[in-house]
């Protein structure tokens, strides 16, 4: 189907702001100006929907990121939920709470949202705008999949893989909270996450049983997967892929990674070097699924404290 054209909008400050964002998004935005979005889903696929909020002072501080980075991070966090379900992105809706002090940076926020959406070929379908005391971006993403990948499908005997290198966002956050400057490598992982949509679709095609994106930290999200699947998970601490300068105990609690933890059947042979050559990101085998035991997650080879990672600042 051809993209729906925008509708003519009335005069006024709110509509002027919307027009500014549409100018920024150009052909990325479709059918803006109606009461609701119209979405075509391929025959035989199911709609997959998620909403994620990013609130100034709760999920980020203004001085940490550029306006463009704030927009991109918010969109990437929402799109990562579609990646976890191995869903193809079909649309994004932005509910923006805009304080007066942020009006001059509206286009930059929109550019960030647009860049994250464009990276996974996700059209922008509309949303809402309101005045607010702090900047808030509530992003709803819509995707589709014939067989959505869920947290509940892991089976005893499955092998666990993780994408990327862990620990950068947590290291950057610790530095920022104590007034230090993070390394460029750690800051980049914190400020510019990449939802692993293409990677998830490929792993799902190979027969992945279950997946979850790492937003609360590896230990916490592995526990979510274990509970949902009624299994236990064993993680080999020495096999954890970590960013330089990050210890194991910090890598497993670092949140806002937006990497994927995936349970694969043991008879599927994954070439980790070929994966990295294809997607430009590492894939590492780092654990296995076992029958349900007392603990959700057991770390093999390290004494690591449990933590929920970080999802907000206070």
pLDDT at 1 over 90: no
Q: Exposed (0-12), middle (13-18) or buried (19+): which is 298, by Cβ within 10 Å?
A: middle
Task: Please report whether residue 313 resides in a domain.
Answer: no
> Which CATH number is 59's domain given?
3.30.1330.10
**Inter-residue contact 79 to 116 (CB < 8 Å):** yes
Residues 130 and 160 in one domain: no
Q: Is residue 307 part of a domain?
A: no
Same domain, 136 and 186: no
Q: Which long-range contacts (CB under 8 A, 24 or more apart) does 221-225 make?
A: 221/261, 222/160, 222/261, 222/287, 222/296, 222/297, 223/296, 223/297, 224/151, 225/151, 225/154, 225/261, 225/263
- Co-location of 49 and 175 in the same domain: no
pLDDT digits (tens, 9 = 90+) for 10-40: 455 666 676 776 777 767 776 666 678 888 8
* pLDDT 10s digits, 94-128: 999 999 999 999 999 999 999 999 999 999 888 88
Q: Are strands 232-236 and 283-290 parallel, antiparallel or unpaired?
A: antiparallel
Q: How far apart are CA 262 and CA 281, in angstroms?
A: 15
- Asked whether residue 276 is assigned to any structural domain, the reply reads yes
Q: What does the alpha-carbon distance between residue 154 and residue 232 come to, in Å, rounded to a whole number? A: 10
Question: How confident is the model over 245-265, as pLDDT tens digits?
Answer: 999 999 999 999 999 999 999
Beta bridge partners of 284: 162
Angle formed at CA 149 by CA 127 and CA 156, multiple of 5 degrees: 150
Residue with tokens 């274990």: 226
Residues 227 and 166 in one domain: yes
Q: Give yes or no: residues 240 and 291 share one domain.
A: yes
Percent of the chain with pLDDT over 70: 87
pLDDT beyond 50 at 311: no
| Average per-residue pLDDT for the chain | 90
Among 73-82, 97-106, 157-166, name the one with the lowest average pLDDT. Answer: 97-106
Q: What is the pTM of this model?
A: 0.89
Instruction: Give the whole-number percent of the chain exceeding pLDDT 90.
Output: 80
Domain ranges, residue 265: 151-300
The answer to whether residue 312 scores a pLDDT higher than 50 is no
Residue 288 included in any domain: yes
* Residue 1 in domain: no
Reported as a pLDDT band with limits 50, 70 and 90, residue 273 is: very high
In a domain, 306, yes or no: no
CATH number of the domain that residue 251 is part of: 3.90.650.10
So what's the pLDDT on residue 313? 53
Instruction: Mark whether 288 and 168 lie in a shared domain.
Output: yes
Closest CA to 293 of 209, 217, 237, 223: 223
- Among 98, 113, 145, the domain boundary falls at 145
Q: Are residues 106 and 24 in the same domain?
A: yes
Q: 95, 128, 145: which is the final residue of a domain?
A: 145
- Kindly report, residue by residue over 182-215, the tens digit of the pLDDT: 999 999 999 999 999 999 999 999 999 999 999 9
Residues 108 and 213 in one domain: no
How far, in Å, CA of 76 to CA of 97, rounded? Answer: 18
Please indicate, yes or no, whether residues 103 and 163 belong to a single structural domain of this protein.
Answer: no
When pLDDT is cut at 50, 70 and 90, the band that residue 309 belongs to is: very low
Among candidate residues 87, 121, 145, the one where a domain is terminated:
145
Domains of the chain: total:
2
Whether the CB-CB separation of 73 and 188 falls below 8 Å is answered with no
**91 has pLDDT over 80:** yes
pLDDT at 226: 97
pLDDT score at 310: 46
Based on the domain organization, do 187 and 240 belong to the same domain?
yes
159 and 182 part of one domain: yes
Q: Which residue shows structure tokens 């990497």? A: 259
In a domain, 223, yes or no: yes
Cα separation, 88 vs 278, whole angstroms: 18
């Amino acid at each position: 189907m051809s993209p729906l054209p925008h509708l003519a909008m009335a005069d006024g400050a709110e509509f002027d702001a919307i027009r500014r964002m549409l100018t920024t998004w150009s052909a990325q935005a479709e059918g803006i100006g109606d009461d609701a979005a119209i979405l075509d889903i391929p025959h035989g696929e199911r709609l997959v929907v998620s909403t994620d909020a990013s609130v100034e002072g709760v999920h980020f501080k203004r001085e940490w990121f550029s306006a463009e980075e704030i927009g991109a991070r918010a969109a990437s966090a929402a799109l990562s939920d579609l990646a976890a379900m191995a869903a193809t992105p079909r649309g994004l809706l932005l509910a923006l709470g805009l304080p007066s002090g942020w009006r001059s940076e509206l286009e930059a926020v929109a550019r960030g949202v647009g860049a994250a959406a464009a990276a996974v070929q996700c059209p922008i379908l509309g949303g809402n705008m309101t005045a607010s005391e702090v900047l808030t971006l509530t992003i709803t993403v819509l995707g589709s999949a014939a067989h959505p990948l869920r947290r509940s499908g892991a089976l005893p005997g499955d092998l666990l893989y993780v994408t990327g290198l862990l620990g950068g966002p947590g290291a950057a956050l610790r530095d920022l909270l104590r007034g230090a400057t993070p390394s460029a490598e750690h800051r980049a992982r914190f400020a510019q996450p990449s939802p692993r949509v293409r990677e998830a679709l490929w792993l799902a095609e190979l027969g992945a049983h279950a997946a979850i994106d790492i937003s609360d930290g590896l230990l916490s999200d592995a526990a979510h997967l274990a509970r949902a699947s009624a299994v236990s998970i064993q993680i080999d601490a020495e096999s954890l892929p970590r960013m330089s300068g990050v210890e194991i105990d910090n890598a497993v609690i670092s949140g806002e990674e937006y990497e994927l933890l995936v349970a694969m059947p043991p008879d599927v042979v994954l070439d980790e070097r070929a994966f990295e050559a294809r997607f430009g990101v590492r894939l590492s085998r780092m654990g296995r699924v076992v029958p349900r035991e007392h603990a959700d997650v057991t770390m093999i080879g390290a004494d690591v404290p449990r933590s929920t990672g970080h999802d907000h600042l206070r």
